[in-house]
Amino acid sequence: MIELKTAAEVDRMAVTGQFVGELLAELRAAAAVGVNLLDLERHARSRIRERGADSCYWDYTPSFGRGPFRNVLCLSVNDAVLHGLPHDYVLRDGDLLSIDMAVAIDGWAADSALSVIVGTPDPADLKLIEATEVALAAGVDAARPGNQLGDISAAIGEVARRYGYQVNDEFGGHGIGRTMHEAPHVPNDGRPGRGMKLKPGLTLAIEPWFCRSTGKIKFDQDGWTIRSADGSRSAHSEHTVAVTEAGPRVLTNRPDQGVRPDSRSGQSAATS
């Protein structure tokens, strides 16, 4: 069942979203050559505890995965793109790191992700991250009353094709609100004018992710970490968004948005 939120409930989700955005900006700044992934996890745990928030990831037990997830971050490096388990790994020059987190405050959840290049950037990685952020912006822009769910998916897929990337439809965005995962599923490709009508009060986590040279994925033996099937690098961007009468409202904006794409030219307006 899809629950439409009142304006007051969206405001409460925005409180959570502000915290998520601020913490992601902190983690982005902290991700440097020589930093251990476990240090990022520890920092996030401390900040979540200080805020009195609850991690939506802790004890998460979906149909995939091997046992409950016992971390507050997904940290995916290079060819890993989703659900990366924080582990004893020291970041190296040129690593591409995707950071994903979801928390709840006073019963309302927000979910967001970003990708960052550690140290010296590879232009191909900058392009990949840019593509996910341009696709995210396109998907958010389509989240308007009167549009349909397929319009969001089609907007994301069009950007992927424009940049030359394939789209995997096994994992995508989702509804969010009282819990991290609610209906509907939001694929990262689709046909415009299809699917449910978007109404004010619908809250979605929109999350394009692409791999450099494949749309296929594989799982690590841990059952969680998802990688590109061919070992190519991957990137992931995500925001929690509310459909409102005035248009889409991003609830997880960050003080530091990182790559600032210019979707008109297809070129980066800034780098990491």
Query: Could you tell me the two tokens for 197?
Result: 């009508």
Instruction: State pTM to two decimals.
Output: 0.93
Q: Per-residue pLDDT tens for 242-267?
A: 999 999 999 999 986 543 333 323 33
For residue 5, CA distances in Å to 8, 154, 172, 202, 267 come to 8, 25, 21, 6, 37
User: What's the confidence (pLDDT) of residue 257?
Assistant: 57
- Asked whether 135 and 110 are in contact (CB, 8 A), the reply is no
Q: How far apart are CA 164 and CA 254, in angstroms?
A: 28
- Asked whether 272 and 126 are in contact (CB, 8 A), the reply is yes
Query: Could you tell me the two tokens for 60?
Result: 């998460």
User: What's the confidence (pLDDT) of residue 255?
Assistant: 87
Task: Give residues with Cβ within 8 angstroms of 243, minimum separation 6.
Answer: 143, 144, 145, 198, 199, 200, 201, 202, 203, 204, 249
Q: How far apart are CA 252 and CA 179, in angstroms?
A: 16
Q: Could you say which residues of the chain have pLDDT below 50?
A: 258-272
For residue 33, CA distances in Å to 9, 27, 239 come to 40, 13, 26
User: What's the confidence (pLDDT) of residue 260?
Assistant: 35
For the chain, what percentages of helix, strand and coil (3-state, to nearest 5) are there?
Answer: 25, 25, 45
Helix axes 123-141, 149-163, angle to 10 degrees: 160
User: What's the confidence (pLDDT) of residue 47?
Assistant: 98
Is residue 184 reached through a cis peptide bond, with omega within 30 degrees of 0 on the bond before it? yes
